Chains A and B, each alone.
Chain A
Amino acid sequence: MTITKLLGSAALVLLPMGGAAFAQDAAAEELPACENCADSMVIMSWGGAYQNSQLKAYVEPYAALTGVTVTWDESSNEAIAKLRAAQEAGNMPFDLVDVEGPDSQRACDEGLAVEIDHDEVLAPGSDGSEPSADFGDSIINDCYVPQIYFSTTFGYRTDVAEWNGQTPDDICDVFDVEAFPGMRALQASPKKNLEWALICDGVAAEEVYDVMEEDGGVERALAKLDTIKDSVIWWTAGAETPQLLADKEVVMGSTYNGRLFSVIAEQNQPVEMLWDYQNFDFDGWIVPAGLSEDRMNRTMHFLRFATDTQRLADQAKYIAYGPARASSQPLVSTHAELGIEMAPHMPTNPDNMKNYLVNNIEWWADNQDEVEAAFQNWLAQ
């Protein structure tokens, strides 16, 4: 798996970083004028802390430089459905869409996203490298402009009396309601849940996707999830788990690692990370098909700015996700407001990477429709 190589190298780069210089003023001079461009855009993203990092790192700076009005649509969770519906209706309301790796593959396969010539559209790296080389393996298909890699992992409350001082340190503790009683928050989606269920059902991590491919593999994972179904609150938006943890409605829950970072470091809740078998994936942009020329020009102009070396590094100052550009990684430093070192909070920190999974993008792109249907039926039972 090539993504792991990238992650490994990123981890090495992240550790010895020092402070990074802001190059914002320089960027302002470099930004070329946009000809025949719409003066507003609608960006679909995830809401919450992640969208905020995008806002601070490049949307606000871009709006300040160009005067463009940006409207957010916080429905990346159902991006494919929204794009399909918009295409069927013949009216594309979004100019740029933020999706995870597998969804970008699906959008690209279905013609919902336009193909992008990365070297043509994107800015070269600050070290002069070609964009396609700078992004490297994170460009998983022709439509995708990756921003960051993130992981989905668990957070747990540290003040649960019933646990008698024990804390979960193994992914399978999530499935152990005897030793760790209490409600759990899991995503109302088969992705990642099935992988964890199989690992805790005795499948070796590297065989997870082979087992799921077999007849009965998905059923086996669902049967494992059945054992905790009564103790689960299902979430659909990444911000729900932090809220549920803070409200003590759940004792542990899965979400994106950056969201948990916000709960722990910014809101000082008694919550800790359970990094065991964190699940890596990419997040990035796709440009929807069917945009008018002026909107397309605006989107491409923004894209070039928002994915340059400095902007992606800036994003990591607001949320604990690693930039997808190799040239951005040395520039990641301390949190913009708290001033703490970001490296230990990054999913690629070696201490956090003892066990991990890499989301199999092609498998999910191919199988999501049927697995999703089976999962939703199971949920409704």
Chain B
Amino acid sequence: MADATISGGMPTGREARPVTSGPMLAADGTPLRASLARSLRRQKLRALLLIAPLLLFILVTFVLPIGDMLLRSVQNGIVADTLPRTVAALSQDASEVPGEPVFDALYTDLVIAEEYKRHTQLGTRLNYESGGASSLFRGTGRAVGRFETSIYADQLRDADPAFDDSAQWAAWMADPGNRDALPQTADAYDAWATLTTEVHGDDPAEEDVGDFVYAALYRDLAAGSRPPAMPAVDVSGFETVTAKELFIDDDDAWGEPAIWNTLRAFAPRVTPGYYLNAVDLQMTPDGIAPRAEGDRIYVQLFIRTMVMSMLITASCILLGYPVAYLLASLPMRSANLLMILVLLPFWTSLLVRTSAWKVLLQQQGVINDLLVWVGVIGNDGRLVMINNQTGTIIAMTHILLPFMILPLYSVMKGIPPSFVRAAKSLGANDWTAFWRVYFPQSVPGIGAGSILVFILSIGYYITPELVGGTKGVFISNRIAYHISDSLNWGLAAALGTILLAMVLLLYWAYDKLVGIDNVKLGG
């Protein structure tokens, strides 16, 4: 404060010092407070700039993908995007199996979706919710082009040859009067014109207009529309087909409520369906219900992941604690040498270590051979130690052990040996001195190691995949399956989000029970 001068400026109140009558000024004459704030701000800015690359990196590679994942777990635009007319018509129709207008809309939607080859994606999506939807959409998608709706085109062309003229059609459909009078036709024609340009790269004014446009025109005319700039056709005597019958003829499933319930349930653009699926539930017309017995796997997998991660953490503590104790109590030279042995696995590829366990653990492997040779087990009693939970626990304990030993070691290094000596000099035997004096001081290391090992193992993927068979795999393997094989990314996102929430919950519980301040990574 030596360079601060006191001036007779305005008092600031907040800095009310009894002796001053105005703000303190810095050397350059600005108020000290402002000057300090400026320099602090500059410091903060500099600090921010220094961490900016990391911040940006985390934002782009971590926060955004997680946000995207959270969104994907509820997004469901595919039904409304692929079958927009059906969804709109369905909202007007509450009957179990809807009426003719919905089937007419479905016919138009499906013909268009088939041209874009989008119906199979929709089928795959709905199949996640209701088995059979995929084959239904594929089968009907193939058949829908052969539906006998060409009779409308034929009859209209017979009634007036102008209906055969593509250029004429383009002109009619550019006329606002016609468009207002023929809403369905205008909509169908626009969709047809777009797909003719986009999918086939042709000019709509030169191509034969699609059958579904004629069918739409027939419906408009039959409903009594009188387009101003079009030849008048009396359609009352026309031979007709009904879309509903055509669909049900193709596949009985269209006449049953199941597919319609699914379509109604998944028409909205946001759905809880993936989350329900992730906890073995499903949406039904009567509300939320458990899935069929054979399809309930995720709750069981979550529990298995938790239990096995705890077992792995426990075996890491059991194996790691003595090693860390030995390292901490040995003289520096030999401790360093042993430390290298602990770290050595870190320098070997994870894949190599896991494959090595395969060689060791398999039934004709090294360990079984050794046991048979020693005579512990007979040749026909070889142990099954791989492709099951045992394999996963053994291999993952080995792989995660250093994450337990390192924090334990650094905490133990910080425990002064004099404490144990003092306890012994006061009459404690070896065990009491260890258990009452040494062990409590090493608990923060166990805490840190356990959190590391547990959280790492809960999300582990490659090791369980290679040595876990079918019984020893984790929820992460299922997530990977849905990401890369079944491509049910929504379900994968929901499962991932639940896993994330569980880890946060456990972290919170740990903080409440043990206290996160009690976790130490170093002395």
**Chain A contacts to B: CB under 8 angstroms:** 78, 81-82, 84-85, 106, 109-111, 162, 183, 219, 233-234, 247-249, 365-370, 372-374, 376-381
Contacts and interface: CB of A to CB of B under 8 A. Distances in A.
A84 B135 contact: no
10 contacts: A84-B487, A110-B117, A162-B380, A249-B362, A249-B364, A368-B134, A373-B127, A377-B294, A380-B301, A380-B470
Contact of B132 (A78, A82, A370): A370
A109 B114 CA distance: 9
B94 to A, nearest CB: 28
Interface string B261-291: 0000000000000000000000000000000
A78 B364 CA distance: 30
A367 B131 CA distance: 9
Interface stretch (B29-37, B41-49, B337-345, B478-486): B478-486
Contacts of A85: 484, 487
A379 B135 contact: no
Contacts of A234: 469-470
B297 interface: yes
Given A81-B487, A234-B470, A249-B362, A380 B478 contact: yes
Contact of B131 (A183, A247, A374, A381): A374
Nearest to A80: B487
A368 B127 CA distance: 11
B135 A366 contact: yes
B131 A111 contact: no
Contacts, number: 78
Contacts of B117: 109-111
B138 A365 contact: yes
A328 B349 CA distance: 46
Nearest to B128: A373
Contacts of B362: 247, 249
Interface string B472-503: 01000010010011110000000000000000
Contacts of B484: 78, 81-82, 85
A69 B380 CA distance: 51
B490 to A, nearest CB: 12
A376 B486 contact: yes
A370 B295 contact: no
A188 to B, nearest CB: 9
A372 B486 contact: yes
B124 interface: yes
Contacts of A233: 387, 469
B123 A369 contact: yes
Contact of A376 (B133, B138, B481, B487): B481
Contacts of A370: 127, 131-135
Nearest to A75: B484
Given A247-B362, A380-B301, A78 B134 contact: no
Contacts of A84: 487
Nearest to A188: B470
B470 A366 contact: no
Nearest to A372: B486
Interface string B109-128: 00000001110110110011
B363 A373 contact: no
Contacts of B116: 111
Contacts of A372: 486
B139 interface: yes
B134 A366 contact: yes
Contact of A367 (B118, B120, B135, B473): B135
A233 B295 CA distance: 22
Interface centre among B131, B132, B301, B364 (most CB of A within 10 A): B131
Given A85-B484, A380-B478, A109 B127 contact: no
Given A78-B485, A110-B120, 7 more contacts: A81-B484, A85-B484, A109-B141, A111-B120, A365-B138, A369-B135, A370-B133
Nearest to B117: A111
Nearest to B483: A85
Contacts of A248: 363-364
Contacts of B297: 377, 380-381
Contacts of B141: 109
A359 to B, nearest CB: 16
Given A81-B485, A84-B487, A110-B120, A374 B138 contact: no
Interface in B120-155: 120-121, 123-124, 127-128, 131-135, 138-139, 141-142
Contacts of B132: 370
A380 B123 CA distance: 24
A6 to B, nearest CB: 24
Interface string B292-307: 0011010001000000
Contacts of A106: 120
A369 B481 CA distance: 14
A369 B362 CA distance: 33
Contacts of A368: 134
Contacts of B295: 374, 377
A373 B486 contact: yes
Contact of A81 (B139, B142, B380, B486): B486
Contacts of B121: 110
A360 B289 CA distance: 35
Nearest to A369: B134
A367 B127 CA distance: 10
Identify the 9 closest CB pairs spanning chains A and B, nearest first. Answer: A111-B117, A369-B134, A366-B135, A370-B131, A110-B120, A380-B297, A248-B364, A369-B127, A366-B138
Contacts of B473: 380
Interface in B74-133: 116-118, 120-121, 123-124, 127-128, 131-133
